[in-house]
Amino acid sequence: MDISSVRRTKGRGRLFDSVIDTIGDTPAIRINRLAPEGVTIYVKAEAFNPAASVKDRLAIGIIEAAERDGSLKPGQTVVEATSGNTGIGLAMVCAAKGYPLVVTMADSFSIERRRLMRFLGARVVLTPRAEKGFGMYRKAAELAEAHGWFLARQFETPANAAIHEATTAQEILADFDGQRLDYFVTGYGTGGTVTGVGRVLRRERPETKIILSEPANAAIVGSGKGQARGADGAPAQSHPAFEPHPIQGWTPDFIPLVLQEAIDDALYDELIAVSGPDGMSWARKLAQQEGIFTGVSGGATFALAMQIAERAEPGSVILCMLPDTGERYLSTPLFEHIAEDMDDEERRISESTPGYRMPA
């Protein structure tokens, strides 16, 4: 076979000393079939990180900042509250660096997330779903105090926004150097992405409008009500506007201190709420019409990007964050319409030829 016209790869031009060195440099991928005519949409596909989510950046940022300042000692146990992706990222980083990890997580989050963390060697301590994110947060703090463990504090640590300022934002600047970029669209969990990227885009690309989203039934930032905090910036209680929502990884039941900077310093131009069903619908469309596999949070962010595209002027360019992979959601409503057995059409295809057919 003549391979002169076959798609080729060249390697990255470097060898890696550790899996953690592969974090970042995720691709911005053009949307070809779903984007409205006259508007260009790119998605930044964070599933290309080694543990398949944007939180790999946060995990390495927290651990290496703590190593530098001496707050994390060799062999010390790390503990953190997480809905899943930060825990998976921390489990990967801690495995590579030799730190034990304990994760606290409300039992409402997907089973595959806790199994992935355990597969990577972490211990997962479940907390009652009725206590929401605040309950798992307080449990992590209790364990750290009782056992002398290092508390990662993803919701408050300066290392969170700093890693996005140093990596995510710089990748965006490089990828769109000399190119138009009218909108940057993201949701928030801790707020690290919008805060870190917002710092840089406000300075380097002030023409780029930053659009932030949150769940329609848990619009705690949009409520205008402030967050009660302790002296260390940690939440003192659940936010009164919070309701449980299906967009896992987005919007805990409090406003994180990391996000507060984006609110106080106006690091976004517009806040728009998105519903969970819309997020699931667009995640399925991305998979089936673009071949891009993302979870509910990615679908919800893309739903907002499509809203912006419909009203944007011709020629506009939009970049949308896709935080993770759809494989984190196999046991959730995102996959509830995906059957395990053949449907009628698949059975008709099977029966259209005589051999190797399943019995009726």
Q: Which residues are catalytic?
A: 55, 297
H-assigned helices in the chain? 55-69, 85-97, 111-119, 132-147, 158-163, 169-175, 192-204, 257-264, 276-290, 296-311, 344-351
H/E run at residue 125: strand 123-127
| Phi-psi domain of 309 (left: phi exceeds 0; alpha: psi -120 through 50; beta: other) | alpha
Burial class (CB in 10 A: 0-12, 13-18, 19+), 285: middle
Neighbours of 262 (CB within 10 A): 25
H-assigned helices in 52-84? 55-69
**83, 109, 130, 234, 247 from 126: Cα distances, Å:** 11, 10, 12, 21, 19
Q: Is 203 helix (H, G, I), strand (E, B) or coil?
A: helix
